[in-house]
Chains A and B, each alone.
Chain A
Amino acid sequence: GENVEQHPSTLSVQEGDSAVIKCTYSDSASNYFPWYKQELGKRPQLIIDIRSNVGEKKDQRIAVTLNKTAKHFSLHITETQPEDSAVYFCAAPWGLLTGGGNKLTFGTGTQLKVEL
């Protein structure tokens, strides 16, 4: 199955600084890479996703980059604010070619803390 590794597990930045979270995946057939944000006690919510036909996607202060050759993708948050503090999860699908699955494998999460 897909192996998704996420780093770092915790990240502390000063307000206004940038934050970068990185993930690697193993299934070369993976073609969809979402990022979810989970605030304490709340449900995960999609913040941005990227498909394999593009290398970068941006939405205001959030961007995701994808390197299919190296099989890694990253979340970039610029001008961080206290409300960005949360756990962020990356994910990748697997089994697309074998038909063995229709599910996402999630990374282990990154606890981002934005300090004033």
Chain B
Amino acid sequence: GAGVSQSPSNKVTEKGKDVELRCDPISGHTALYWYRQSLGQGLEFLIYFQGNSAPDKSGLPSDRFSAERTGGSVSTLTIQRTQQEDSAVYLCASSLVSNVDEQYFGPGTRLTVT
């Protein structure tokens, strides 16, 4: 079947604007994760979902970041009032049940805030 998909693949936005990033996980995967990867850096955990619930939002950098997941499937990461330091690749991953199952990553959304 299809892998994890993300849209858009690239997003350029002006500082202060809001952006929405979308993730479509693998069908049947109950766990969904958002990560941020700055240029040449590692993977910074942002938030994960178990079904539609987000038990742990501790990785979100500020209250400008929020995420939701509906129907146990698609997830949206929203960044309000974007800042230049938000520029990064935002990666989504899904796994069958939990973090001890293989995480399948999407291609990422490259966000550039000008």
Interface residues of A (CB under 8 A from B): 31-32, 34, 42-46, 49, 51, 89, 93, 100-109
* A45 in complex: contacting residue of B58, B100, B105, CB < 8 Å: B105
Q: Which residues of B contact A43 (CB under 8 A)?
A: 91, 105-108
Q: Do A31 and B100 touch across chains, with their CB atoms under 8 A apart? A: yes
B interface secondary structure, majority: loop
Number of A-B contacts (CB under 8 A): 54
Q: Which residues of B contact A45 (CB under 8 A)?
A: 105
Stretch from B11-19, B48-56, B76-84 contacting the other chain: B48-56
A interface secondary structure, majority: strand
- Interface size of B in residues (CB-CB distance below 8 Å): 23
From known contacts A32-B100, A44-B91, A100-B56, infer whether A106 and B43 are also in contact, taking CB-CB under 8 Å.
yes
CB distance from A42 to the nearest CB of B (A): 8
Q: Which residues of A contact B55 (CB under 8 A)?
A: 101-102
From known contacts A43-B91, A44-B105, infer whether A104 and B99 are also in contact, taking CB-CB under 8 Å.
yes
What is the bound-complex CA distance between A67 and B52, given in angstroms? 36
